Amino acid sequence: MVSEYSQRLERIAAELRRSRLDALIVTAPPNIRYLSGFTGSNAVLLVPADGEAVLYTDPRYEIQADEEVSCAVKVSRKPLLKAVAADLARRRSLRRIGFESGRIRYADYLSLREALPASRALEPQTDLIERLRMVKSDAEVEAIRRSMAIAAEACQKVMASLRPPAREAEVAAELDCQMRRLGAEKSAFETIVLFGEHAALPHGRPGPRALRQGELVLVDVGAVLEGYASDMTRMAVAGQPNERLRRLYRVLLEAQRAALEELRPGVRAGMVDRAARRVLERHGLADCFVHSTGHGLGLEVHEAPRLGKGENLRLRAGMVITVEPGIYVEGWGGLRVEDTVVVTSNGCEILTPLGKELIVL
């Protein structure tokens, strides 16, 4: 891993030289972790185009930084951006300084600007590190695979004992607990468990609603392991599914299969979305699919690329993304099936180790 961090830093430094920047101030915690290995909550990373990166953190993290980080570490008692600015003021050769404009608070930006000499230019940068993060290394894919295995096992266990009149919030808590028991650091997002017509809300919140016989169950769950997120959705029904549910679920699986078959290096992200959408359109369900077909994931649960309408970005081997078409009908309920997959040299590999048939409880 140590050499992976220094390789990543070198690639960012090369980007900076190409953009004629002298340094980059990194403020987004996942980006700091990606480049340095530091997992604490308070840090700033200064990456010069030439020379060694420096991680700034406060005394609470001194020991942790020494353990985790292979670049230089500076422990500061003052606001970290002030410490960075003071160093930049001394290093006269660093004049054009990039910063993560989408990842810094406005007040922090203002204090940074104020602390820097007027001769230093602050140049807004977007997605510099996020672009690099899109393609995962083998070690990252393995972390996501293990994170996915934990979420899947928890899902299987909890589904196996799920019966009316369980409550949504209870089941969600049970999933969180199982994932922790299986070794997860935490849940990747607020676990979603929705019953019946409540499942028509793609990101509904589990509440006190109790499961009734005949109702749908939507479970959307993910773990975090070694910082890496996983994400999956499975569906169940309490009792025998009726004809409408069977038909819609078949269409949904067909849409997901169409998207999965589209996945390979060189394909534009928007084409994967189109493949899923076309199946739903053919069945008159286009309006019932209200979100994009998938998203990248890694150190964050939602990251680039987005598999959305008209996205031109071309997929590359090593990208890890979700494929999650859905059908939502207000007043009736919602269906979604979601896998985490990695793009391979000639297609994709599904990392979610569970079947996709509708589970009958």
Residues near Zn ion (CB under 5 A): 220, 231, 322, 338
DSSP line for 33-101: HHHH----SSEEEEEESSS--EEEE-GGGHHHHHHH--SEEEE-SS-HHHHHHHHHHH-TT--EEEEET
CB nearer to Zn ion: give 130 or 220: 220
CB atoms under 10 Å from CB of 54, counted, come to 20
CB nearer to Zn ion: give 81 or 323: 323
Return all residues near 44 (Cβ < 8 A) that are at least 6 apart. 25, 26, 27, 32, 55, 56, 57, 80, 81, 83, 84
Least distance to Zn ion, CB of residue 201, Å: 13
Report the half-sphere exposure of 287 (CA within 13 A, side-chain side): 3
CB nearer to Zn ion: give 140 or 303: 303
**Which pair of structure tokens corresponds to residue 174?**
């049970």
Distance CA 152, CA 68 (A): 29
CB atoms under 10 Å from CB of 143, counted, come to 21
Least distance to Zn ion, CB of residue 151, Å: 10
Least distance to Zn ion, CB of residue 219, Å: 9
CB nearer to Zn ion: give 48 or 204: 204
CB nearer to Zn ion: give 48 or 202: 202
CB nearer to Zn ion: give 47 or 151: 151
Least distance to Zn ion, CB of residue 324, Å: 5
Given a contact cutoff of 8 angstroms between Cβ atoms, the answer to whether 249 and 279 are in contact is no
Least distance to Zn ion, CB of residue 351, Å: 13
Least distance to Zn ion, CB of residue 187, Å: 11
